[in-house]
Amino acid sequence: MSPGPCESPMRPQPYVVRGVRRETHDVFTLELEPAGDAAPLAFGPGQFTMLYAFGMGEVPISISGDPAGNTMLVHTIRAVGTVTRALERCRKGDVLGVRGPFGTCWPVDEAAGKDVVLAAGGIGLAPLRSVMYRLLARRERYGRIALLYGTRTPEDIVYRDELEEWRGRLDLNVQVTVDRAGSDWRGNVGAVTTLLPRAEFDPANTVAMFCGPEVMMRFTMLALMKRGLQAEQMYLSMERNMKCGIGLCGHCQLGPFFICKDGPVFPYDRVKWLFGREEI
Partner 1 sequence: MKTLEPILREHPFFEGLEPSYLALIVGCASNVVFKAGDVLFRDGEEANLFYLIRHGRLALELTSERGPFTMLTIGDGEILGWSWIIPPYHWHFSARAVEDTRAITLDGNCLRAKCEEDHHLGYELLKRFARILEDRLRATQLQLLDVYCPYPGEKR
Partner 2 sequence: MTTVNGDMTEQLHDKRTVVIEPAGLDRLIEVLSRQGYEVVGPTLRDGAIIYDRLASTADLPVGWTDEQGPGTYRLRRRGDNALFGYAVGPHSWKKFLFPPALTLWRARQAGESFEMEAETAAEPRYVFFGVRPCELQAMEIQDRVFMKGAHIDPSYRSRRENIFVVAVNCGHAGGTCFCVSMQTGPRATFGHDLALTEVVGNGSHYFVVETGSGAGAEILDDIPHREARDEEIAAADRLLCDTAGRMSRELETNGIRDLLYRNYENPRWDDVAGRCLTCANCTFVCPTCFCHTVEDVTDLDGRHAERRRPWDFCFTADFSYLHGGSVRSSAKSRYRQWMTHKLAAWIDQFGTSGCVGCGRCITWCPVGIDITEEARAIRESER
Contact region for partner 2 (CB under 8 A) — 10-18, 109-117, 176-184, 228-236?
A: 10-18
Q: Is 267 helix (H, G, I), strand (E, B) or coil?
A: strand
Please work out, in degrees rounded to the nearest 5, the angle formed at the alpha carbon of residue 214 by the alpha carbons of 107 and 238: 45
Q: CB of 157 within 8 A of CB of 86?
A: no
197 interacts with, out of partner 1, partner 2, none, CB within 5 to 8 A per kind: partner 1
- Measured between alpha carbons, how far is residue 133 from residues 81, 138, 216, 255 in Å? 29, 9, 23, 32
- Cβ at position 278, least distance to partner 2 in Å: 7
Size of site (CB under 8 A) for partner 2: 44
Q: Which residues pair with 99 in a beta bridge?
A: 50
> Of 2, 82, 205, 230, which lies in the binding site for partner 1, with binding defined by CB under 8 A?
82
Closer by beta carbon to partner 2, 17 or else 136: 17
Restricting to residues 182-201, name those near partner 1 by CB under 8 A.
183, 185-194, 197-198
Give the one residue of 121, 154, 247, 264 binding partner 1; rule: CB under 8 A: 121
Is residue 84 within the footprint of partner 1 (CB under 8 A)? yes
With CB under 8 A as the contact rule, the residue among 144, 240, 270, 272 that binds partner 2 is 240
- Beta strands, E only, the chain: 13-22, 27-34, 48-53, 57-62, 73-78, 95-102, 115-121, 145-151, 173-178, 188-189, 206-211, 234-237, 253-254, 257-258, 265-267
What span, in angstroms and rounded, lies between the C-alpha atoms of 117 and 145?
6
What residues line the site for partner 1 (CB under 8 A)? Answer: 26, 57, 59, 78, 80-84, 121-123, 150-152, 156, 177, 179-181, 183, 185-194, 197-198, 212-213, 215-216, 219, 222-223, 226
